[in-house]
């Protein structure tokens, strides 16, 4: 098996995508922040002392998608042409979904995953004073489109 991120000596390298043609690509990722019923009530009431948790997390996730190459050393600098981060308060916490789009030479899976992870961390940061047991879980890719491998969708 050939690993594209390793050179002939087995050392990590950034894959050269110079010759690839830009195509429209998208990726959707999801994750969950788990917290106590008391925190859920506080979120639903809009009474978290640090402010609007969902708005802060949404902006943090979008900013994170655009900064992914600064965090992941082998990620390419690409144009993030669209990023949406949606958060929903559920009975056991907050569900996060991020979709990132580009018209570039490589995919946006890592950008979508980074958006979810950072949005989740923003939620954790804003409610940790209310619930020390709060946790970020199940960050995963749900689907991707475009590129050489085409469409992929996680099976239920």
Is 110 annotated to bind a ligand? Reply is: yes
Q: In what order do the strands lie in the sheet with 93-104?
A: 82-90, 93-104, 23-34, 135-145, 152-153
Is 1 annotated to bind a ligand? Reply is: no
Respond yes or no: is residue 125 known to be catalytic.
yes
- Cβ–Cβ contacts within 10 Å for residue 95, how many? 17
Is 74 annotated to bind a ligand? Reply is: yes
Is 155 annotated to bind a ligand? Reply is: no
For residues 6 and 124, give the distance between their C-alpha atoms in angstroms, rounded to a whole number.
35
Is 111 annotated to bind a ligand? Reply is: yes
Catalytically annotated residue among 8, 45, 52, 125: 125
The residues annotated as belonging to the active site are 125
Residues marked as binding for substrate? 74-76, 110-111
Residues marked as binding? 74-76, 110-111
């Amino acid at each position: 098996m050939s690993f594209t991120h390793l050179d002939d000596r087995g050392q990590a390298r950034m894959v050269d995508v110079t010759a690839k043609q830009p195509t429209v690509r998208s990726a959707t990722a999801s994750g969950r922040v788990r917290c106590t019923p008391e925190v859920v009530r506080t979120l639903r009431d809009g009474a978290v002392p640090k402010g609007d948790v969902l708005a802060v997390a949404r902006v943090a996730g979008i900013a994170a998608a655009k900064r992914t190459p600064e965090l992941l050393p082998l990620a390419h600098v690409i144009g993030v042409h669209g990023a949406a981060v949606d958060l929903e308060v559920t009975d056991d916490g907050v569900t996060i979904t991020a979709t990132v789009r580009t018209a570039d030479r490589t995919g946006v899976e890592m950008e979508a995953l980074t958006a979810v992870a950072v949005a989740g961390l923003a939620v954790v940061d804003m409610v940790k004073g209310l619930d020390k047991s709060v946790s970020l879980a199940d960050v995963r890719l749900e689907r991707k489109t475009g590129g050489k491998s085409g469409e992929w969708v996680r099976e239920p």
